[in-house]
Chain A
């Protein structure tokens, strides 16, 4: 069981959230036409062992998308921020 500190709602069980996706990848701009950029965004992922950033959605709370730092090896949880406040 992970416990995630939502910046809005406080420390909550992981069951209130849904996992989003890798928060390292950046969505290409809307007018990007190069398929490779989109393939990279949709399909290509690093599989880091250790610290990682990922999106979580507080669906049963404030419905904010969060960027959470999680260690994929130890499950250690680091900072958690509103996705909207994380610079691109």
Chain B
């Protein structure tokens, strides 16, 4: 099994950066391979056509445009009226799903290599994101388990709030280094730690 190469290979260096923060780790930055990503598209009767396949994965329909549906290691993001993005965080295959879908009515597309994940965590996570994207990141407006597609530095990204103080950012791989570097610069006034997941 060949390991997927991170687009941040030459940028991510564990350590502490920026201002000395009094609080314990105001911000932690890290990266993750997305695992398996697949897009399902469709047309009329999108919901009906995709329901059995999604049901087999444990999802009750294709959901709304804000809520992340999760079933075990798989999360489902409804990114457009007739497009879903599924992520298998373990990198597991979507073989069964593919078998359950007819390419003529529900074309699928492997995007596992098209995105990279940047994870930001810590007490200042809302403040950091407010400096990167023009969304209201308060818990009230952006609760846990929701997502939004927006722009960071003119690049389209998907933000997923995993918990009160943790976000996942789905970044197109070719922009990843540029976005990572900008996030680091923006985080410097808070002080931040770059960590590497085992």
Give A contacts to B, CB under 8 Å.
Answer: 8-10, 12-13, 15-16, 59-64, 82, 84
Contacts and interface: CB of A to CB of B under 8 A. Distances in A.
A16 B80 contact: no
For chain B, give the interface size range.
Answer: 10 to 19
Given A8-B65, A62-B65, A16 B150 contact: yes
28 contacts: A8-B65, A8-B81, A9-B148, A9-B149, A10-B66, A12-B134, A12-B135, A13-B134, A15-B134, A15-B151, A15-B154, A16-B134, A16-B151, A60-B149, A60-B150, A60-B151, A60-B154, A60-B155, A60-B157, A61-B149, A61-B150, A61-B156, A62-B65, A62-B81, A63-B156, A64-B80, A64-B81, A84-B81
Interface of B: 65-66, 79-81, 134-135, 148-151, 154-157
Given A8-B65, A82-B81, A62 B134 contact: no
Contact of B156 (A13, A59, A82): A59
